[in-house]
């Protein structure tokens, strides 16, 4: 297992495009339910952030104390998941970025690759979203790092490596690669000493994600870069 290349994919902007409307609505509904505030007109930068970080920054902007926000996080997680389970469309296949399905099919057929996730989505929301998009089968349960694991995205790659490793040791850094579309994807990889591939299919142009080890235009570019690394 340790000699396989662990690929930690982001979801929104990397695998899917414009699949966030119901997700955002679920977060706003949950914040209203838990904190009693209408947050729908308050927006904070969301790309690359965890769900709980987005909620925290939104609530802070509305004057909620950090202590009160923290106290409500467990209820917020549960409320957001319940809301998204109700709001998620039955079919999100149209949001799958061009070439992504074919890329995942090719990678899943290899015995030297382990597909996993590092995403700011709460895990249950990530799983529901990928299932609706028809990509859930590529990412096994019990693997990955999610916004439900930590508010801080930089905590997520080590969590994903532990889950992909053995009881004795996490999956090795030198056999792990983060794949994302934002500067925060790059930052979370660097915080764990990992290499990172950036794809310019999200909200950031290539110049914004130039700090990655390689920047590609789309899933076809990812395929070429990964084939070069895998041999």
pLDDT in tens, 5-32: 999 999 999 999 999 999 999 999 999 9
At 2, the pLDDT band (50, 70, 90 cuts) reads: low
At 58, the pLDDT band (50, 70, 90 cuts) reads: very high
Tell me what percent of the chain is helix, strand and coil, each rounded to the nearest 5: 50, 10, 40
How confident is the model at residue 43, as a pLDDT?
87
Backbone phi and psi for residue 145, each to the nearest 5 degrees, phi listed first? -130, 135
Q: Within the chain, which residue ranges are assigned CATH 1.10.150?
A: 21-87
Q: Within the chain, which residue ranges are assigned CATH 3.40.50.1000?
A: 5-17+92-230
Residues whose CB is less than 8 angstroms from the CB of residue 180 and which lie 6 or more positions away in sequence, other chains included: 9, 10, 13, 14, 48, 118, 186, 189, 196, 197, 198, 199, 202
Q: Which CATH number fits domain 5-17+92-230: 3.40.50.1000, 3.20.20.140, 3.30.1330.20, 3.40.50.300?
A: 3.40.50.1000
Beta bridge partners of 6: 114, 176
CATH fold group of domain 21-87 = DNA polymerase; domain 1 (1.10.150)
Q: Provide the CA 112 distance to its chain's centre, in angstroms.
A: 22
Q: What is the pTM of this model?
A: 0.96
DSSP 153: G
How confident is the model at residue 187, as a pLDDT?
97
For the chain, how many residues are written? 231
């Amino acid at each position: 297992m340790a000699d396989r290349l662990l690929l930690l994919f982001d979801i929104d902007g990397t695998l899917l495009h414009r699949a966030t409307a119901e997700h955002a609505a679920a977060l706003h509904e949950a914040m209203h339910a838990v904190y009693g505030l209408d947050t729908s007109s308050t927006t904070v930068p969301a790309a690359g952030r965890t769900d709980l970080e987005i909620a925290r920054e939104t609530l802070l902007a509305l004057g909620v104390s950090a202590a009160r926000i923290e106290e409500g996080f467990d209820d917020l997680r549960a409320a957001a998941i319940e809301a998204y389970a109700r709001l998620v469309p039955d079919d999100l296949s149209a949001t799958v970025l061009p070439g992504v399905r074919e890329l995942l099919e090719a990678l899943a057929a290899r015995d030297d690759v382990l597909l996993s996730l590092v995403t700011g989505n709460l895990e249950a929301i990530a799983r529901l979203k990928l299932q609706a998009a028809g990509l859930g089968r590529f990412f096994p349960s019990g693997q990955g790092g999610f916004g439900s694991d930590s508010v801080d995205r930089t905590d997520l790659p080590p969590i994903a490596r532990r889950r992909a490793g053995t009881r004795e040791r996490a999956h090795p850094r030198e056999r792990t690669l983060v794949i994302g579309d934002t500067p925060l994807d790059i930052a979370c990889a660097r915080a764990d000493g990992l290499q990172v591939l950036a794809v310019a299919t999200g909200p950031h142009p290539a110049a914004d994600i130039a700090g990655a080890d390689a920047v590609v235009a789309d899933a076809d570019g990812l395929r070429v870069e990964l084939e070069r690394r895998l041999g």
